[in-house]
Structure 1
Amino acid sequence: MTKFLLCVPNIDECKPRISIYCGVNAKCQNTKGSFYCRCNAGYKLLSGKAQFSNSSENTCQKTTPSETTNSTKELQQVVENIESLLTNKTVWGMEEGRNITATFTSILQKIESVVLETALKTPDQKLQKVQNRAVAVETRVVTDNCSKAVIFNLNAQMNSMDIHCSDVIQGNTQGPSVVAFVSYSSLGNIINAKFFEEANETDQVNLNSQVVSAAIGPKRNTPLSQAVSLSFQHVKVKPSIKKVFCVYWKGTKEGGHWSMEGCFLIQANKTHSICSCTHLSSFAVLMAFHREEEDPALTVLTYVGLSFSLLCLLLAALTFLLCKAIQNTSTSLHLQLSLCLFLAHLLFLTAVDRTEIKVLCAIIAGALHYLYLASFVWMLLEGLHLFLTARNLTVVNHSSINRFMKKLMFPVGYGVPAVIVAISAASRPHLYGTPDYCWLHLDQKFIWAFLGPVCAIICVSEYVALMFLT
């Protein structure tokens, strides 16, 4: 039996010989098996619809520039308000643990609602993009029906989302629908990987993307018929990727946490990750990296150098302590410096990698923080003593300087580092200890609790040296 396939060609009604006339300020759009008319760019129907059938339904009128301008200005104002909220230290600085997750969940929901409402106020403004240093927003308004084949691509801060048009309109043919895509520059510094509960304890997980939010309206929390595709640019480019987790922020009664439910990794390389999610929310990419292997030669050099340093410091401390003939204010300063450095090096050599017990690791990190800060303060006191001694060489002045230094050196030498460490530990106790070493964490620039005072001490020492030379 012979079968015949009858092929009916698709006729383009918008071209000669038919050339459907849609009226002034409008044009014909061909579709498979049909056609429709729509207004030219800068024009809109009085009804607010996006398309019509023929010239008799043409009510295309020029869009008032002020409408577009006011719409964009309103969205810009929304973005500025979001920026001020996200950068407000009083909102985040006093929050910890459960409280901060509850605040985060509430703020994300409010941001999504405000952005959607603002976009829906001006349905003629199809596409809007607004960005500042803290947040980027792109919205797209859909006023007509569309097929599943149509996919919208939204971009914000080097991140993007693909969503099917049919999921945006949600069967809503009576009015406009909107999809919003929001990217936050630094929100990941507040809600980071520590709120991810599904990783193995052996994995060092870091948030390595910006946090993004996706929402559709006016109907909220509507199930998607097809998954959305999300592309993230990595914040840090590292070749040693061990695991990649596509996660969303799951709000709970207790606050919220990162979850992988409904999100899957499609593809990942050094610079980007592509995720697929079956629902809309706020998303991010978490990564676990292979621990970089230490150079054996450098490790040996570290142990040998520190061991030799410990021996020298011990001999120096014993000399200053036991030789009474040389004991004075200067040797007392040398003794305290030697003791602080000896204890700091010894603790570093024996316990800096004891990360098994988090509380113990935090205590070790705090002790190292204190001892190394104390070492720098004692070095500063030595410099000040040398400067004052050189400037006042008379017997009377020299004696008064020694009395002054004896009263001052212990409260300053041990008190100032204690105050700095106490403030740091009280404000950010969870940032003492990292997954690899018992030292200060780099998150939230906490390392500056050590680097800041050290830089200040170095600057004062340089100033004293210049004064001494002049």
Structure 2
Amino acid sequence: MSMKYLGMRMAPALRLSWTIMLVLALGHVGFATADPCEQYTNISDPWRNRGFLSTSSQLQLKDDSDLQEGWYRFVGVGGDILDFASIPIPSLAEERLGYCAPYSPTVTNINLCAGAISNGSVDVKVCSSRYYVHKLRPTTSNQIYATSHQRCTESSCGEFSQCGTLGACVCKTGYEMPKGLLPTGDTYGCTDTDECALAGSCGVGADCVNSPGSYHCECVSGYLPHLSSNNTLTCTGKHWPDYRIDQQVYEAECKTQLSECIINYLTGIINSSKDLPPNDVVLILVKLLESLYDLSRDTTVKTDTLIRHINSVLRSSEEVMDILMPANVKMRSHLHITTSLAELQQITIGPDANPRPVAIQIKADDTQLEIDLSKNNADKISASLLVFTNMEKVLTADFFLTTESVNVSTVMSKVVSVTLRPTTRLSSPVNLTLKHTNVVHPQGVLSCVYWNGSAWEVDGCDVTQTNATHTDCTCQHLSTFAVIMQVERNLPKIAAMVIGLIFLILTLVTFALCALNPKVTNLARLNLCISLFQAHLLSLLVQELILHILPHKVLCRVLSGLQMFLYLSGFLWMDLDTLLLLLSIMMLKKLKKPRGEGPNCGHLSLIGYMLPLMIVVVVVGVMPAGYGTEWCGVRKRGGLSWSLLGPAYFLFTVNLIVLLIAFISLCLLSSNESPLKEEIRNVRCQAVRVLVQSVVITSPWVLGFFYMGYGSVLDLVFLILISQQGTFIFLIHCVLNPEVQSRWKRLFQKLASISPTPLNNM
């Protein structure tokens, strides 16, 4: 075989070999240049943390035997660095994984932190001097890579855990590692310890109440806190002499008011004993509040006496918050206590907190507090927020002294107390967000107030923002706070509405006396007055009771629909009255007397009430949320309530057209040669009354197009016109009607002629 042929046969193989070598070389260059700081996998396992504890023998510990080889970065609550001394994995009955030696970032080849000594190695690389990545490989069975926190902060370990020694995470006081489970997710896995499950937590005469991270005791009914000679607090006795310290001192007072005696006794304990355990002072606080609420319900207690005890309880509450402040806090401490009568949230910042917070935010029972600490240089700062459950029933709005005696005041939030220790000096105003406990009145004015020791005041507190559910308060000082709403009672409006209703009643009485006289009344006119009376009365009652109605949404919508029905019914009966006038004129043109003609009572009633009812039903079907606004009225679109004003303007237009036809026909009707001169004259008088009646009823609603808002001139005109409709109708159909005048004159003469029967004739 020639060399030329051999070369030709080997050329493809050589080319293939060179290609493979080139690919391998390029691949080697690509792998060699890959930066572990750019290509790594995050790994966050809370159970890796060196402080992890397990108290269950059934816990199946994890290992890293299935771990894929590669570069990893430790993040999250498990830790951010690898511990590097070797540790053994404990048996299933043991509690602790063990400890590793502190991390040294100068070492690049480190022993595996699991199993026996020198059982493998880990490569580590520092990335931008900010974090580390590690080259991890699969381990043998029962071996893990244990981690810790190099830079442990307040959020490193999770919500209910905290930094321990050497970067380990440990559960906060009152919390424990869940039994039989490995912690997962974004928390270290600590859960609340149920101290009440422990036998004898509170002793005889007391109930144990567990709360997150803590617990407290509450004396049962008939028992009171008693401070023994060794400064131990227990619930003792079922009768006051059994647990009173000095019976002679309190004997007279306790006979008149037991609650006062209890308050004096318990406040004395708090003032004299500053080293009571937290559970004891909480027990006293609950009993103090319970006694104060009992005292406030006693109507025989004088206001000065009640205020004195209120101040005493509030001062004791502040003392309780001071006693609960932890003494030895290095970084941060959070205390949360919930009782049947109050909720307490307390945050303490220690001197070693890093970074030091600029502000403290506390949330308790839908109340949020924010205190600025930017200029506070104290080593340890403790802020407390105490939310009272029923204090608004004791510190009522009656203690809010305003210059407007016609205002109606209501406490709109729960009463809260705020303290800051060791100093009360604020770097900037304190911000409070308080949730409303009542419905805000449409015309209500909200004020942020504080308790000055005798009354609610607004000095130094401002409303920064408010909506239907919350109010933000900014106050220049610390105290006991609340939100109060003032509603100005519009007495002139109420008086005007009442006057109009009285004249509507007089009109109905007159119509009843002249029921058979067509020159005075007819069915349409009678039902018009009945509908207007019911509509105005319902509107007045709804406005006066709006705060009691608004919480009941269904009732509010029903009343809103009922008001619309009554007003539309009145407008339609006005149209029917005008139509009856036109029918009378048509009969006169045929030289017939109008009496007894036209639709019967059943047909008129069907039209006058069924058509408005159908309109209300249609509105409910088309717009289910159309009723039940802040006034329990109809929804507004573009400033007008079209579900009411739309049908109303249509009925007004129909009434105007019928009136024009009636007056044109009346003008064409000659009475000089007619045999029905008297009837024509009466119909003309009725036409004038119907015209004025239509103007009185329609003019207030026409002003709806020009509504300017509360306080405008048109508002005053609207109030006068709509409230005095009954007065105008009484003047039109009764005072200025000769038939009614003669009827009332005969009635008065008849009453005057009746004299008492002489006794000698008996």
- After TM superposition, the score normalised by the length of structure 1 is 0.48
Identify the structure with bigger relative contact order (alpha carbons < 8 Å, sequence gap 6+): 1
Larger radius of gyration: 2
- After TM superposition, the score normalised by the length of structure 2 is 0.31
